[in-house]
Amino acid sequence: MIKKFIQRVFGGKASTPPAKAPHGWRVYSQAEHGIHRDDLSHAAINVCEGLQKEGYDAFVVGGAVRDLLLGRHPKDFDVATSATPEQVRAVFRRARIIGRRFRLVHVMFRDETIEVSTFRSNQAAAEGDEASAHVDEHGRLLRDNVFGSREDDAIRRDFTMNALFYDPTRQEVWDYVHGVADIQKKRVVIIGDPEARYREDPVRMLRAARLAAKLEFAIDGPTEAPIRGLAPLLDNVPEARLFDEMLKLLLSGHAHAGLERLRALGLHKGLMPVLDQLFDAADSRPFTVLALQRTDERIAEGKGVSPAFLFAALFWFPLKQRVAQLEAKGIRPLQALHEGMDETLDRQRKTLSIPRRLDPLIKEIWISQPRFLLRSKPRAFRLLAVPRFRASYDFLALRAEAGDADAELAAWWERFQFASEAEQEAMLLPDDEPKKKKRRRRKKTSPGEGGGGAADNADPAPSP
């Protein structure tokens, strides 16, 4: 679809010449851009039409328009309007205003939520009035509720490809910043002065890497130039925002390419400094790359992906390294594993706020790995009965494929979990661990009989 679109806009014969707006704006007709109303969700169309009937401007904006032009199916649809948040809420029965930094409205239609924003402008902040108080000492925009015109709203957006407006009623695409041309040239271009825009919101640097990887675009030279020097600005961004952006990258379907982009731009050092170790070390790189590739494949096939599984894979080798260090200090293996798990996750949380709700599954996957080595009757069946056994087994299979675990071990467990009861019994291995001797209960004696005191009755120290 993108080839036909480019031919229509840049080399094909248009049925009617494109409308020209002031300052070089362009309006593309349906015959030129090729987007059909059927490509949009009913909720997005209803929101736009509902606002337009009340006399407000309303457009589908941002990444949804970009993806539709590229022949992709958007996951979410956002709407921009001339109506204020209070006016939007008055139009729709199921609507609520959210946010302080950016006041938005969520409009609900059945199981779909459309995010509606009012056209915004940075003009007031630039002139140094009240809005300038909403910028921190690094230039980061703390609040952005200065409303403006449609053109203002386009100019304040991050990248030209995300500043396109689509009117589902007239079926027109409005382009204020040459976003269509940049899509045609497959390049990520920031709007305005790159350094100033990154200072306003340092997360835009992460977004540039993610979009370039996801769309297989190049980052425009001036857009890329200041990134490496401004990377420390990410230290001033709330950890929760960084986690959300990293999760988008990891679940974009291009996680491997995205993380490589982060490294190339020097953006990983304050987020996931372990990436250098994971991608450069001979023992960890095959497993890390394979885990990311399998994640991308599942997303391409429309299958679900567990963030906990992915983080368990990314931090597996740092965990192994830490456990080895603890064992070298004389700490018993099981205790070293538990301490290592906590330390590994806590260390990462200093830069990336991984929700603690993911900890149970991450730890369950990790702690199950040594248990796969025990294939005797009681232990094998106990492990098989664990509620999330399959995630732990998939992790083992991934390790085996990357050469980090015994392939025969993974194959045994693949057969065992699907075998009949009789076949399972035949597959079990003898218990190779010595059974603990039961402590003989001593007969109580009177103080004068025998010399057994408390020390004589104490349990022996358990073997590691």
Choice among 76, 152, 167, 359 that is catalytic? 76
Please give the order of strands across the beta sheet that includes 78-81.
19-20, 26-28, 172-175, 164-167, 58-61, 78-81, 112-118, 104-109, 95-98
Contacts of 68 (CB under 8 A, 6+ apart): 35, 39, 40, 74, 166
72/252 Cα distance (integer angstroms)? 13
End-to-end Cα, the chain, rounded Å:
63
Choice among 67, 144, 153, 158 that is catalytic? 158
Residue with tokens 């991050």: 158
User: Is 353 buried (19+), middle (13-18) or exposed (0-12) by CB count in 10 A?
Assistant: middle
DSSP for residue 178: S
Are 252 and 216 a contacting pair, CB within 8 Å?
Answer: no
- Cβ atoms within 10 Å, residue 220: 19
- Cβ atoms within 10 Å, residue 317: 20
Please, where are the H alpha helices in 54-108?
A: 63-69, 85-91
13/19 Cα distance (integer angstroms)? 15
Q: Is 235 a catalytic residue?
A: no
Choice among 67, 78, 153, 220 that is catalytic? 78
40/281 Cα distance (integer angstroms)? 45
Are 380 and 416 a contacting pair, CB within 8 Å?
Answer: yes
Where residue 31 falls (left for φ over 0; alpha for ψ -120 to 50; beta otherwise) is: alpha
Contacts of 159 (CB under 8 A, 6+ apart): 179, 182, 188, 189, 190, 191, 204, 207, 208, 211, 223
- Cβ atoms within 10 Å, residue 97: 14
Q: Is 167 a catalytic residue?
A: no
289/257 Cα distance (integer angstroms)? 10
74/279 Cα distance (integer angstroms)? 31
Q: DSSP 3-state assignment of 427?
A: helix
Q: Is 459 a catalytic residue?
A: no
Q: DSSP letters along 375-416, please?
A: -SHHHHHHHHTSTTHHHHHHHHHHHHHTTSS-HHHHHHHHHH
Q: How many residues does the chain have?
A: 464
Are 60 and 159 a contacting pair, CB within 8 Å?
Answer: no
Q: Name the residues annotated as catalytic.
A: 76, 78, 158
